[in-house]
Structure 1
């Protein structure tokens, strides 16, 4: 059952205007808008909103949140695990700051002495450590470049791309028992190469080869790709390596 915007606002504790703004910038688009103009939010919308608010609590801007959540490599469960780790770190930092405040009060009352270093324990505003960790996990340049194109897409276009992505991976999964160098496999890998270049920016042959290496070096990629078939990530990496080298020879 879908909820109206006021019901969501009351449930979550955010303003209606905030939800309207999230819709306007494409961060949280309601599942449906009725003929009367009412925004209706699904269970999936609420899960997305939860994720957004966790990121906001950790100091991310709406622009940064949108980029991260639109990344092709974004995994909601892994994001929740990371957010928990970040919040635990934040809690430890807040606890340290409270301890520093308590010690400072005692220092002012003459009960204890504090060094200059102790006066600033738990205080560090030089960078957003949570943003750095997220960027490290989901990529920086790749996230930015990909979202330049994704942000311009309609919901239907995004669904179409997701479908094509799924079809290509399923096709490659059926071929993974063949040699990565075989003609049929190489034709399928070429489809993947063309798909990336058509939808996610320009991939040089070296970048395409590097992406294939990432499939086996980063366990997150390997796990997600191998959902289509055991060993698919390694198979694709080898096929992409051969494709890149072979295309260079032909040029």
Structure 2
């Protein structure tokens, strides 16, 4: 038998993390001692090694548990994760190229062309979105949809990006007006929905009302999305926008 401290020392995983794995049912101890301490065997060590392998592949804990408990097909998940890692590698390569160009431009005293700056911005934004929301979006819409959306984002022209900015500016202004006027103007509510839909269509590979409603729910269930709209418009904006989406996305 191994104590939790021994497991932590062997694996490099903190005691706090091991306790959390126990709480969520990912790595349960083999038994508890008479004093109530967790006790592990070689079987749990083998399971922990597999958990660490999946974590190295950036799989979320929820998906790792489903895999290890036999509720998801391992080959399918590994294939999806491989595609995601390849996409991430490509993004990193593009970022490295942009950094190299920036360094060269500064060393030579030249100025990057607007097109190069725009490409740099898109890749940085894509990396930031992936870091902040990649896991949640994949769980909700799936790997194929996320990859298609990322590809469409990468291919945006400057004109399309300006279109997105203009649509978002209009969305914020109309949403603020709608809220300040008591949320009774149904024509304005319809216009807010249509503006948001057009904004999504710029980067979504294929629009669907169901996915739109799902995104609206994410706006109120994820504090990061909620704060984005509340900070851009006013407190409660994410909630109101979701209500409009649920009413009109049919």
TM-score, with length taken from structure 1 = 0.41
Structure with more relative contact order (C-alpha pairs < 8 Å, separation 6 or more)? 1
TM-score, with length taken from structure 2 = 0.41
Higher normalized helix content (fraction of residues): 2
